[in-house]
Structure 1
Amino acid sequence: MTQLKRRAVLAMPAIVGLGAALPARAATWPSDPIRLICPFAAGGPTDVAARAVAEGLSSALPQRVVVENRTGSGVVVGSEAVARAPKDGHTFLYSTVAHSVLRPLFPNLSFDPVRDFQPVALVGIIPMLLQVNKNVPAQSLRELIEMFRSAPGRYTYGSSGAGGAVHLATALFLHQAGNLQVNHIPYRGSAPAMPDLLNGNLTMFLNVASDGVNSVREGQTRGLAISSAKRLPQLPDIPTFAEAGLPGYEAYTWHMIFAPAGTPPEIVTAMNDAANKVMRQEKLRQRFSELTVEPRADSTPESAADWLRSEMAKWEPLVRAAGVTAG
């Protein structure tokens, strides 16, 4: 910490619950290993990215940052653990767009996704890839839509959990394509869903792009559309949804670090500084490229909070209009 920041910390008034101990505690942060709670299954795309970020943070901070997977009820279990954690800067949440739809999906939450969290840093944005198992006769997005339309309720799609990014992106697609009726099968993360797509137990999986690149390249699944405005460099032959016949459809997930609300602001700032430093590391940027994540190294706690508010304003009405449920 610079001399200027130390003087600023010492000049801060005591925060309720920390009292006079705040300056000393903040100046020595982190005094113990940091838990980065990921509310998604180990081995899935969010977990893999979280571990890459944790590795970078461990090199940028005096203490190790350890990823802890806490799954259940979409992202509720892991998020609640962070909301209830001590506000000492040793527990953070690594979550996604799923955080922005907790209120409409889980109206009886024991915590509030805004009031009980402090956004720290937006670290990356990720497009989605629509895949079908290789036995599906549809060779294009238009043909897939017609297939679903001709047999309501006959086919299936997988997700990484109710209310997660995959679930939201798929629900939006089905809604915009004409309120198509396709059965939702939620999993505890994306990794457990992939085998069922490969063996034909799932019809479709609109997953984060990184998880599908290799299976499409190897012919194990068929890629029909990418959810971003531009084609994915790793799969240049796969059209965007707009090119494939569904103009106006775009969907991304994003990764953000949160702290429990009430975490001392100078600790939030220090964690934000560390996250931005990590996102500028060439090793991390190469790893994120492999994961099809666009890294962000310019986030502030304020801009991250603004991003969250804008995403909630976008997704909450769509969740209600599309009839997305947590079940």
Structure 2
Amino acid sequence: MPAITRRSLVPLAAGLGTAASAATAAAPAWPNQAVRFICPFAAGGPTDVAARLVAESLTGLLPQRVLVENRTGSGVVVGTEAVAKSPADGYTILYSTIAHAVLRPLFSNLNFDPVADFQPVALVGVVPMLLMVNNAVPARDLQQLIAMFRDKPNQYTYGSSGAGGAVHLATELFLQQAGKLKVNHIPYRGSAPAMPDLLNGNLTMFLNVASDGIASVQRGTTRGLAVSSTERLPQLPDVPTFAEAGLPGYEAYTWHTLFAPANTPPEIVNQLNEAVNKVTRQPALLQRFRDLSIQARSDSTPASATAWLQAEMSKWEPLVRAANITVQ
């Protein structure tokens, strides 16, 4: 067998380098298979509907299909953990909401880190809240409602779609900022069961996602007192913002964000981000979003989505702890 010398290794090294370059060049571009959005909410709910709209639009833009898989359990924990522990290859993506920002204070035994184990891809859109009261409530505006709650602590009620959810958080923020008002919380299994109780007078107030309350205010079956965004809703031009109604600084949304597992290659994250921004500019998707009261954010970047998450966690985590909010 001939001796191996340094000189004989030179062509071998060159050959290996050529082979590596060829292998790199031949690596398939993302995506070369279907992409899954894991939605940790039930099928048919508002988050699921939005996720499917985005997935459908992306399927028309990307060379592969984008599918939505509902994976529920322990709030959003089961679905979120599944993404955290998935390969960081861009084929398993989390489609989640404000629920991601309060995982740490609500669940003490998580098997993943909501920050370290994820890379925010894009803030898809935000959904404002609409404060409604039943028509028997004498308060005609927000200040009168606040005065009513202040004068009779623990004599009135508000509903939520569940403990620790966006509606609960937004309402607690309102009560705290309005002077640490004491109003009894009645949690429901979703928003739908709460609306009849608001209509028949069993609930005093419901600060619900706007899409679920606009129709009742338009019909006059409930009274809208304020919206939680910085601008009025086009569907309800006569309902003021909280700031206009005398509570400056109050702003609350639920929101839709895509998260990839940590260490997903930046080129994949950026490609998905660009694709999401493109589809959220499409007139057809924008119209469907308006129907759901989702305000699209078609200029989001991974960096701005990360900053948004950090700001939301800084806002909501202390509130959860101060209000002693727990989940069953």
Report the TM-score when normalising by structure 1: 0.83
Provide the rounded CA distance (Å) in 2 between the counterparts of 1:157 and 1:273.
40
CA distances 1:37-67 after superposition (whole Å, capped 9, x unpaired): 2233444332332222122112112333233
CA distances 1:226-273 after superposition (whole Å, capped 9, x unpaired): 112222221011122122232322222221111122333332222212
Provide the rounded CA distance (Å) in 2 between the counterparts of 1:23 and 1:199.
66
Provide the rounded CA distance (Å) in 1 between the counterparts of 2:227 and 2:91.
37
Provide the rounded CA distance (Å) in 2 between the counterparts of 1:218 and 1:253.
24
8 A Cα contact 1:37 1:91, kept in partner: yes
- The one-letter code matched in structure 1 to 2:48 is D
Query: Are 1:166 and 2:167 counterparts?
Result: yes
How many Å apart are 1:95 and its aligned residue?
A: 1.4
Q: What is residue 178 of structure 2 aligned with on the other side?
A: 177
1:27 pairs with one of 20, 26, 29: 29
How many Å apart are 1:223 and its aligned residue?
A: 0.8
Provide the rounded CA distance (Å) in 1 between the counterparts of 2:73 and 2:193.
14
Q: What is residue 77 of structure 2 aligned with on the other side?
A: 76
How many Å apart are 1:145 and its aligned residue?
A: 2.3
Q: What is residue 51 of structure 1 aligned with on the other side?
A: 52
* SS of 2:93 mapped into structure 1: strand
How many Å apart are 1:219 and its aligned residue?
A: 1.6
8 A Cα contact 1:71 1:188, kept in partner: no
Q: What is residue 7 of structure 1 aligned with on the other side?
A: none
- The one-letter code matched in structure 2 to 1:99 is H
Provide the rounded CA distance (Å) in 1 between the counterparts of 2:225 and 2:89.
46
How many Å apart are 1:308 and its aligned residue?
A: 1.4
* SS of 1:80 mapped into structure 2: helix
Provide the rounded CA distance (Å) in 2 between the counterparts of 1:175 and 1:21.
59
How many Å apart are 1:27 and its aligned residue?
A: 1.5
Q: What is residue 319 of structure 1 aligned with on the other side?
A: 320
CA distances 1:109-150 after superposition (whole Å, capped 9, x unpaired): 221110111111111122211112334343322232233334
Provide the rounded CA distance (Å) in 2 between the counterparts of 1:139 and 1:208.
21
8 A Cα contact 2:33 2:65, kept in partner: no
Structure 1's 43 and 205: CA in aligned 2 closer, same or farther, altered over 3 A? farther
Provide the rounded CA distance (Å) in 2 between the counterparts of 1:167 and 1:296.
24
- Is there any run of 5+ residues in structure 1 with no aligned partner, and where? 1-10, 15-19
- The one-letter code matched in structure 2 to 1:155 is Y
Query: Are 1:152 and 2:153 counterparts?
Result: yes
- The one-letter code matched in structure 2 to 1:29 is P
| 1:15-164 superposed matches below 5 A | 27-32=29-34, 34-164=35-165
Q: What is residue 243 of structure 1 aligned with on the other side?
A: 244
- The one-letter code matched in structure 1 to 2:305 is A
Q: What is residue 232 of structure 2 aligned with on the other side?
A: 231
CA distances 1:264-297 after superposition (whole Å, capped 9, x unpaired): 3332222212111111211111222222222122
* SS of 2:198 mapped into structure 1: helix
Provide the rounded CA distance (Å) in 2 between the counterparts of 1:110 and 1:103.
11
8 A Cα contact 1:172 1:322, kept in partner: no
RMSD, aligned α-carbons: 2.8
Provide the rounded CA distance (Å) in 2 between the counterparts of 1:135 and 1:66.
45
Provide the rounded CA distance (Å) in 2 between the counterparts of 1:80 and 1:198.
38
* SS of 1:99 mapped into structure 2: helix
8 A Cα contact 1:44 1:191, kept in partner: no
8 A Cα contact 1:39 1:70, kept in partner: yes
8 A Cα contact 1:276 1:296, kept in partner: yes
Provide the rounded CA distance (Å) in 2 between the counterparts of 1:121 and 1:216.
32
Q: What is residue 11 of structure 2 aligned with on the other side?
A: none
Number of residue equivalences: 309
Q: What is residue 298 of structure 1 aligned with on the other side?
A: 299
